[in-house]
Structure 1
């Protein structure tokens, strides 16, 4: 059963000419009243079936419709395949678990945002320490912390242990490797260290070693110091017996004497 498409209408009684006209009028009126009563009973005890409803408010346990156009919906629950609105503002609610294909927004504030839920690898933003993180798993990750002893920092964690930090605690960019730092250029490329007008500083030259563990400090210590005389050498005669007389180009004679012990001053 459904509600009739055209609502019954009642006209003012006409001027009757005879009793038959009165009977016809009453029969039609009684039929319309009966149909109206059936519609009312259907709306009260059955289902409301109409093409258009205009009301200041509707209270219902369930509303099923292809489209609802209204300024306000107040309900305990709304289930829909799609809801399209021009603007959502002043929303305060526990939204629970939201699954969406695309969210575009100018500003989003939240305590925790992650690229995956309860799974790795993932990237995340968290209000704890105001950090960004990229996690291979729970024990291996990189974090960017806003507050690291008074400075922002990038922290490297392996197997749950801190392996290195990059920060500005000392006024410049500091790279710390708690297990060492390797700077490597592959493919035959060079490594350039340019201090500009400053200096490349090391604690001592002994801290610079070759692949064969030769220390630059030791090698420099083996070199002679400029201006210092060498140790005394023994006398020698270049193979000429001491006391031999030699003839000069101008016909004079000289007596050869072997050089005694001597030293030499080192040039710079």
Structure 2
């Protein structure tokens, strides 16, 4: 940029020279402001950062804890070898179906909607458990409070198979024979046994 030596003011001619010098300075300043490329400014002086000049390649820290900030909404690719504590993670935001992990209650959940879901609880009265909620109502759990797996239902529970069901156990224990019910003919095993017993007694009495 040119330097300007203003002459001594001795009349109108000196005033005209001042006006010409100011005009030239104004034009050159306007050109500088229009053509200054801040993206090529590689040095940072003091606390001044030029917007858009700090790229990922210019950041080198040992840990992200060196950066203290609310990072806000982050869109990332692959995150690897990271420990995350006290967080909420979901496969979908504000919509269903989704799976989620929440520090609130320390649960993992699979949600068809807000009222129909399965949750894994780490501590159900001292036992990890899987709980089932249907239409907003808790329907049952699987837990091991007695030292073995227990399937606990607050309503009916179904067991369905398109093939055979094989049971290999020492004993199947029921409170009584009336707990075994056949939908056809609509009688319990207790009903059948009592009828057989009555017939045997009738034959013996005859």
Taking structure 1 as the reference length, what is the TM-score of the superposition? 0.54
CA–CA separation in structure 2 for the residues paired with 1:221 and 1:133: 48
More divergent stretch after superposition (211-220 vs 143-152):
211-220
2:48 aligned to 60, 67, 77, which one?
A: 60
Structure with greater strand share of residues: 2
Segments of structure 1 that go 5 or more residues without pairing to the other structure are 4-37, 69-79, 234-268
2:186 aligned to 202, 213, 216, which one?
A: 213
Contact 1:129 1:147 in 2 (8 A): no
1:62 is paired with a residue whose SS is coil
User: How many pairs does the alignment contain?
Assistant: 172
CA–CA separation in structure 1 for the residues paired with 2:143 and 2:171: 21
1:222 is paired with a residue whose SS is helix
CA–CA separation in structure 2 for the residues paired with 1:86 and 1:169: 51
The residue number in structure 1 matching 2:138 is 162
Superposition map of 1:46-125 within 5 A: 47=36, 57-65=45-53, 83-84=56-57, 88-89=62-63, 90=65, 91-125=67-101
CA–CA separation in structure 2 for the residues paired with 1:53 and 1:182: 70
Offset, 1:216: 1.3
Taking structure 2 as the reference length, what is the TM-score of the superposition? 0.69
The residue number in structure 2 matching 1:223 is 196
The residue number in structure 2 matching 1:192 is 166
Decide whether aligned partners of structure 1 residues 230 and 121 sit closer, same or farther in structure 2, where only a CA change above 3 A counts. closer
Decide whether aligned partners of structure 1 residues 221 and 119 sit closer, same or farther in structure 2, where only a CA change above 3 A counts. same
2:123 is paired with a residue whose SS is coil
Decide whether aligned partners of structure 1 residues 214 and 97 sit closer, same or farther in structure 2, where only a CA change above 3 A counts. same
Segments of structure 2 that go 5 or more residues without pairing to the other structure are 2-24
CA–CA separation in structure 2 for the residues paired with 1:150 and 1:156: 18
